[in-house]
């Protein structure tokens, strides 16, 4: 069965800022963050910053209130909802953490559109402190990828997703991201997949400086409007080609007329 899996980075892709910087900055930790940034990997630094904020009397409610101020562009919200309604499967691969991502997505009514959130695990301990852990426990072993930070190789996550999809039949992947960490997963995509790097951001620079390294088709985007336009166009192309091949078994979650209308959008 043909199906489309959309894999989104979170910071500067779904939201237009960095949730780590926003929370730390919003709660008075910006100076310490800047001071420690050159000395520690970001994930380790965030573990430290959460302890610092807690010691300064900042509560989970303060963090949550701060996260709820993060806007998501209406066109990104509509792109996500339309893709979900068209039967795409949506997943997140992010170096933020579960608490930040779930708080922001549920505040905007988007959490249920995503079937999987791959990120650094976090939980609230008995003292009311947010504890963040590395996705990959690099204290016990290295993930072995030199392109990625020690706590997370997004390429390995995408490989695991691809393996699990193989068992469900043929699937097409569209990967969207902006950062350096999104380059490794872009290299794991194959012909028939798509990568959507954000134009003029680090992953776009890496991809465009050596385009032969990428087997997937590259479709850049710059802002929310362009992301919606490019993403829905790609979904249409994939669905129509599957239809022509007689391989069309996607199960749109929209009423038939609305589905036809989306397919007819001229590009």
Q: Pick the binder of Zn ion from 63, 153, 176, 231 (CB under 5 A).
A: 153
Query: In a 3-state reduction of DSSP, which class is residue 260?
Result: helix
CB of 117 to Mg ion, least distance (A): 14
36 or 147: CB nearest Zn ion: 147
The answer to whether residues 158 and 182 touch, using CB atoms and an 8 Å cutoff, is no
Is residue 73 part of the annotated active site? The answer reads no
- The binder of 220, among Zn ion, Mg ion, none, by C-beta within 5 to 8 A per type, is none
- Under the criterion CB under 5 A, does residue 148 sit at the interface with Zn ion? yes
Non-local (6+) Cβ contacts of 251 within 8 A are: 87
The site map against Mg ion for 162-201 (x = CB under 5 A) is ----------------xx----------------------
Work out the number of other CB atoms within 10 angstroms of the CB of residue 224: 18
11 marked as part of a ligand binding site: yes
Q: Is 72 in the site for Zn ion (CB under 5 A)?
A: no
Judged by beta carbon, residue 21 or residue 225, the one nearer Mg ion is 21
d(CA 148, CA 159): 14
184 binds Zn ion (CB under 5 A): yes
For residues 53 and 20, give the distance between their C-alpha atoms in angstroms, rounded to a whole number: 12
CA distances 125 to 19, 43, 106, 110, 163, Å, are 21, 18, 21, 26, 34
DSSP 216: S
Distance, CA of 194 to CA of 203 (rounded, Å): 14
Using the rule CB under 5 A, is 145 a contact of Zn ion? yes
CB nearer Mg ion, residue 178 or residue 228: 178
Identify whether 18 is a catalytic site residue: no
C-beta of 58 vs 143, nearer to Zn ion: 143
Kindly state the tokens that stand for 63: 């963090």
**Candidate residues 32, 111, 147, 237; the one interacting with Zn ion per rule CB under 5 A:** 147
Q: Give bridge partners of residue 191 from the DSSP assignment.
A: 193
Q: Which of 9, 73, 127, 193 is catalytic?
A: 9
Segment 3 to 32, residues that bind Mg ion, using CB under 5 A: 9, 11-12
Nearest to 131 by CA among 18, 19, 53, 33: 53
Closest CA to 183 of 161, 201, 165: 201
Report in angstroms how near the CB of residue 20 gets to Mg ion at its nearest.
11
Of 11-19, 31-39, 181-189, 206-214, the window that binds Zn ion (rule: CB under 5 A) is 181-189
Q: How far apart are CA 157 and CA 178, in angstroms?
A: 17
Contact residues for Mg ion, defined by CB under 5 A: 9, 11-12, 178-179
* Residues tagged in the binding site annotation: 9, 11, 20, 95, 178
Binding residues vs Zn ion (CB under 5 A): 145, 147-148, 153, 155, 184
Residue numbers annotated as active site: 9, 11
């Amino acid at each position: 069965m043909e199906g489309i899996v959309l894999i989104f980075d979170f910071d500067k892709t779904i939201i237009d800022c960095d949730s780590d910087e926003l929370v730390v900055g919003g709660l008075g930790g910006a100076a310490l963050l800047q001071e420690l940034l050159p000395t520690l990997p970001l994930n380790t630094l965030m573990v430290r910053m959460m302890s610092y904020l807690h010691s300064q009397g900042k509560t989970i409610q303060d963090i949550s209130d701060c996260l709820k101020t993060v806007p998501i562009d209406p066109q990104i919200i509509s792109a996500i909802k339309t893709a979900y309604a068209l039967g795409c499967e949506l997943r997140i691969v992010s170096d933020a953490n579960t608490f930040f991502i779930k708080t922001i997505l549920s505040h905007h009514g988007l959490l249920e559109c995503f079937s999987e959130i791959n990120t650094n695990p976090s939980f609230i301990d008995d003292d009311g402190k947010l504890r963040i852990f590395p996705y990959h426990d690099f204290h016990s072993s290295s993930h072995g990828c030199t392109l990625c930070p020690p706590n997370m190789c997004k390429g390995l996550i995408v490989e695991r997703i691809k393996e699990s999809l193989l068992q469900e039949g043929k699937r097409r992947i569209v990967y969207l991201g902006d950062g350096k960490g999104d380059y490794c997963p872009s290299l794991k995509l194959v012909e028939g997949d798509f990568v959507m790097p954000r134009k003029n951001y680090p992953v776009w620079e890496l991809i465009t400086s050596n385009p032969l390294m990428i087997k997937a088709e590259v479709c850049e985007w710059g802002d929310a409007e362009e992301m919606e336009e490019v993403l829905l166009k790609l979904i249409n192309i994939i669905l129509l080609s599957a239809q022509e091949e007689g391989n069309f078994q996607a199960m749109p979650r929209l009423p038939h007329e609305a589905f036809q209308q989306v397919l007819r959008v001229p590009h």
